[in-house]
């Protein structure tokens, strides 16, 4: 009986097993048949509503390539995703959409309050190359010198680009300096402007924070005019008014303790304009041009100066004062180019000129040295950077080999213009010292590059890529870099890929030439003493072993796989490793120790200095895991879901200069290694039902640390939820309501730190490193008209 039961059970199990396998096989078969015939049986309207695969041009000069076939890890973000995000700045959009992209909102950090620094994979802002339509973008003139994420670097100001002008954003998660030159170490972001065929539209967006502040009014418009031979003139304009938020704690220096200082998002008004033109000619030649214009007036502040801060304070302010640090930013770029084909050789000749200017001025302040005669507002000087790049690219296909060669000439300059005399003499303007005549500088350099890129389609499954780039810089000399990549389709659905490359980042002119010094009265000697940032070539810096800055050098390796079992489902897993030697950092403030240093400091009335140096070697390693799924429930509803996890670990491997740097840099070291979340998870979903559109995005930012007085404090990981619900009326009118961080997640305050300025009970109760800020929930309505 027992044997019969056992046999029965076994048979049932086997039958069950066979049945399940049969069902699975049938469904798979049906699925295959369904998919192969699906598209042919669809109506013309349905075919025109189908989305083709996402393709990117970045990462290879062989033309656009399906992301699932890309040999280097690549992602694409579409304009639809941008439109339904509820976000009004590109920096914010990337922060909430790209795992591993970080852009904290800083406060009381001088110029850094006005120009957001961003990082990719926890590396430096200047280690990500930004392109527009494949052309290099100039950086901001601002050098982040305060204790913020990105300290010591000048990155591109992404908020100078109007969101509505963007067709798609291509993100190359790979070292690519061998293809694009300097800066392409942690990745390349290529912003593609809208081309032909896009609808005209006008949008208005308004909202405010849950706390009732941070009101925003954002309007933008896109107009496209057709031109002969499918050419176009596209113009985008946008304006944004952003009111400040304030999450400050109590100031214990005043009695009774009260809130004296604004801590939060800066108050800013900005205007952006973008044009993109293509004028094809009868002979297939295309003249093209694009231009960007940005003006921003931004107002932030320093810490409050109580009336007992200085004996002269009461001469102008009986109850103390809050110095306002304002920035006027003007940014523009303009490109012209011509592309076409001659004897099967594609050519592209272009010139791009870009300039960024940042004027800093201080209001509601005083220069203590000037006493009652001190002005209350100051022009503190202007920083300017400009860049002109000429490129010639040639491409030709030889059977199954795509080749590209090119050359580039780049000229860049950097300038510091002094502030008005009252802003820097004596103890200088409170809040931010003006740039003095000693700080003024004009510096320029040029570089030539020659590059070669090839892709060998060995067969339908195996692809090999190679790239080499030689550059000659007028300041530091030559550098050659190489990249090899390969992709092998083990199955039609399964791609194995790997890349290895070398790279570099030329020291920015701002890092080489920046100086800002201010004076204060030494309480022991009663004399004015100078401290601040000095050029690496200053004799005080040289006494610490400073040298002319050299380029950072990097080595990169990535290996990964893409699995796409069905057209609607894909997985990507990529491991990456980037080692950077001679990474440039801004040293901490150093006092004289040796006799030579003491003599030099005395001669120059210097008390402390800091300077840029190729100080450290770092390693960045991690993994990106992506999952994409699309599902159609019926003709009226579909779901688009993606999950993206990033793990990035940054380690300092060694130091290049004297050991004392190591001992005086604990805060800086901790910022590089632990100041940003090591993990980031994005769960992005969009559900369309008839004319309704629901976007629900969940973001998990991992924990991070900030060190104060050599002690590291941990801030917890947080989930952020964004929701956007929109309805499209038949006349092209679209109405949306939504919220960012709708559940009002706030980072924890300093845990165990008590202090006047920084601390749970201090003026700044939250860390400035918070990857999602600390201003809380934001709710908005948006109306869009397409015509």
Partner 1 sequence: MTKIFLIFLLVSSSSFAYESEDELKVVLTGKIAKFITWQGDGEAKFVITVIKNPYKNLFEKKYKNKKIKNKPVLIKYIDDISDLSFTNILYIPKVTSKELSSILKKTTQKNILTVSTMRAFAQKGGAVQLFFVSQKGRLKINLDVIKKENFKVKSSFIRISEVVKGMVY
The footprint of partner 1 (CB under 8 A) covers 20, 23-24, 27-28, 30-31, 34-35, 39-40, 42-45, 47-55, 78-80, 167, 195-198, 228-230, 280, 282-284, 341, 566-569, 629-633, 638
In the complex with partner 1, which residue's Cβ is closer, 53 or 651?
53
68 versus 116: smaller Cβ distance to partner 1:
68
Q: Do residues 706 and 762 touch, judged by C-beta distance below 8 A?
A: no
* Residue whose token pair is 């992301």: 67
Least Å distance, CB 283 to partner 1, is 6
Strands 187-193 and 128-132: parallel
CB of 71 to partner 1, least distance (A): 19
Strands 718-728 and 711-715: unpaired
Distance in angstroms (rounded) separating the CA atoms of residues 18 and 13: 9
Q: Which candidate, 753, 786, 746, places its Cα nearest to that of 770? A: 746
The whole-angstrom separation of Cα 641 and Cα 646 is 17
Longest CA–CA span in the chain (Å) reads 110
Q: Considering the complex, state which of residue 51 and residue 752 has its C-beta at the smaller distance from partner 1.
A: 51
Asked whether the beta carbons of 463 and 456 are under 8 A apart, the reply is yes
**Which residue, 125, 162, 158, is CA-closest to 238?**
162
Nearest of 703, 504, 583 to residue 124 by alpha carbon: 583
Place of tokens 């015939």: 37
Measuring CA to CA, how many Å separate 539 from each of 121, 542, 547, 695? Answer: 36, 5, 10, 57
Residue 126 CB-density burial (10 A; 0-12 exposed, 13-18 middle, 19+ buried): buried
**Nearest distance in Å: CB 638, partner 1:** 6
> Cα separation of 125 and 95, whole Å?
13
Minimum CB distance to partner 1, residue 764 (Å): 43
Q: Which residue number, 196 or 707, has a Cβ lying nearer to partner 1?
A: 196
Q: Which is nearer to partner 1, 200 or 446 (CB)?
A: 200
- For residue 161, give the nearest of 217, 105, 238, 234 by alpha carbon: 238
Peptide bond into 256 cis (omega under 30): yes
Measured from the CB of residue 628, what is the shortest distance to partner 1 in angstroms?
9
* Cβ neighbours for 392, distance < 8 A, ≥ 6 positions apart: 347, 348, 349, 406, 407, 408
Compare residues 7 and 47 and give the one whose CB is closer to partner 1: 47
Nearer to partner 1, 3 or 48 (CB): 48
In whole angstroms, the minimum distance from the beta carbon of 642 to partner 1 comes to 12
> Can you tell me the distance from the alpha carbon of 205 to that of 218, in angstroms, rounded to the nearest whole number?
5
Least distance (Å) from partner 1 to the CB of residue 203? 16
Shorter beta-carbon distance to partner 1: residue 25 or 716:
25
Shortest Cβ 238–partner 1 spacing (Å): 19
Shortest reach from residue 654's CB to partner 1, in Å: 45
Complex with partner 1: residue 69 or 417, whichever CB lies closer: 69
């Amino acid at each position: 009986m027992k044997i019969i039961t056992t046999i029965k059970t076994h048979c049932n199990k086997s039958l069950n097993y066979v049945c399940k396998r049969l069902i699975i096989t049938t469904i798979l078969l049906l699925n295959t048949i369904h998919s192969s015939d699906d598209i042919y049986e669809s109506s013309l309207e349905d075919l025109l509503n189908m989305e083709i695969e996402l393709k990117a041009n970045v990462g290879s000069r062989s033309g656009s390539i399906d992301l699932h076939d890309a040999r280097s890890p690549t992602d694409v973000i579409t304009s639809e995703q941008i439109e339904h995000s509820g976000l009004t700045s590109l920096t914010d959009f990337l922060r909430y959409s790209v795992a591993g992209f970080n852009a904290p909102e800083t406060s009381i950090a001088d110029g850094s309050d006005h120009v957001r620094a961003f990082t990719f994979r926890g590396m430096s802002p200047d280690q990500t190359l930004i392109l527009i339509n494949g052309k290099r973008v100039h950086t901001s003139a601002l050098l982040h010198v305060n204790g913020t994420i990105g300290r010591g670097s000048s990155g591109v100001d992404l908020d100078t680009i109007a969101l509505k002008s963007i067709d798609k954003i291509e993100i190359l998660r790979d070292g690519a300096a061998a293809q694009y030159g300097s800066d392409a170490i942690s990745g390349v972001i290529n912003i593609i402007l809208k081309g032909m065929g896009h609808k005209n539209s006008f949008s208005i967006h308004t909202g405010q924070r849950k706390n009732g502040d941070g009101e925003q009014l954002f309007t933008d418009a896109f107009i496209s005019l057709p031109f002969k031979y499918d050419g176009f003139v596209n113009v985008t304009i946008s304006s944004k008014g952003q009111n400040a938020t304030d999450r400050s704690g109590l100031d214990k220096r005043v009695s009774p303790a009260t809130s004296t200082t604004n801590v939060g998002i800066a108050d800013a008004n900005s205007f952006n304009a973008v044009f993109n033109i293509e004028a094809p000619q009868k002979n297939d030649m295309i003249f093209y041009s694009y231009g960007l214009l940005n003006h921003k007036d931004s107002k932030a502040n320093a810490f409050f100066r109580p009336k007992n801060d200085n004996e002269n304070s009461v001469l102008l302010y009986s109850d103390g004062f809050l110095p306002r640090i304002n920035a006027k930013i003007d940014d523009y770029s303009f490109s012209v180019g011509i592309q076409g084909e001659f004897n099967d050789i594609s050519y592209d000749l272009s010139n791009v000129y870009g300039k960024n200017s940042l004027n800093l001025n201080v209001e509601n302040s005083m220069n203590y040295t000037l006493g009652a005669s001190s002005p209350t507002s100051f022009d503190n000087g202007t920083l300017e950077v400009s860049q002109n790049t000429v490129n010639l690219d040639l491409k030709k296909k030889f059977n199954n080999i795509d080749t590209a060669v090119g050359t580039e000439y780049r000229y860049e300059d950097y300038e510091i213009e002094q502030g008005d005399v009252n802003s820097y003499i004596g103890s200088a303007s409170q809040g931010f010292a003006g740039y003095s005549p000693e700080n003024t500088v004009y510096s320029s350099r040029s570089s030539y590059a020659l590059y070669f890129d090839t892709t060998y389609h060995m067969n339908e499954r195996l692809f090999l890529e190679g790239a080499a780039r030689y550059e000659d810089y007028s300041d530091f000399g030559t550098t050659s870099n190489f990249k090899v990549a390969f992709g092998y389709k083990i199955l039609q659905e399964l791609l194995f890929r790997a890349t290895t490359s070398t790279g570099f980042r030329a020291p920015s002119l701002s890092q080489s030439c920046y100086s800002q010094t201010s004076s204060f009265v030494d309480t022991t000697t009663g004399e004015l003493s100078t401290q601040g940032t000095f050029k690496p070539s200053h004799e005080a810096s040289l006494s610490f072993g400073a040298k002319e800055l050299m380029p950072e050098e990097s080595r990169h390796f990535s290996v990964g796989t893409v699995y796409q079992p069905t057209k609607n489902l894909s997985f990507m897993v990529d491991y990456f490793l980037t080692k950077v030697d001679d990474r440039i950092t801004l040293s901490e403030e150093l006092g004289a120790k040796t006799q030579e240093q003491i003599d030099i400091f005395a001669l120059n009335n210097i008390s402390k200095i800091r300077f840029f140096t190729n100080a450290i070697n770092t390693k960045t390693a991690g993994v990106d895991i992506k999952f994409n799924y699309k599902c159609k429930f019926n003709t009226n509803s579909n779901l688009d879901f993606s999950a993206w996890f990033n793990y990035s670990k940054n380690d300092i491997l060694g130091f290049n200069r004297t050991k004392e740097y190591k001992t005086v840099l604990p805060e800086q070291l901790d910022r590089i290694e632990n100041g940003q979340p090591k993990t980031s998870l994005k769960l992005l979903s969009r559900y369309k039902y008839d004319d309704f559109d629901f976007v629900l995005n969940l973001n998990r930012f991992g924990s991070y640390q900030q060190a104060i007085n050599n002690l590291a404090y941990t801030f917890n990981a947080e989930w952020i939820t964004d929701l956007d619900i929109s309805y499209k009326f038949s006349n092209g009118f679209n109405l949306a309501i939504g919220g960012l961080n709708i559940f009002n997640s706030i980072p924890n305050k300093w845990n165990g730190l008590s202090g006047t300025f920084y601390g749970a009970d201090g003026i700044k109760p939250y860390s400035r490193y918070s990857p999602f800020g600390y201003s809380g929930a934001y709710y908005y309505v948006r109306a869009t008209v397409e015509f």
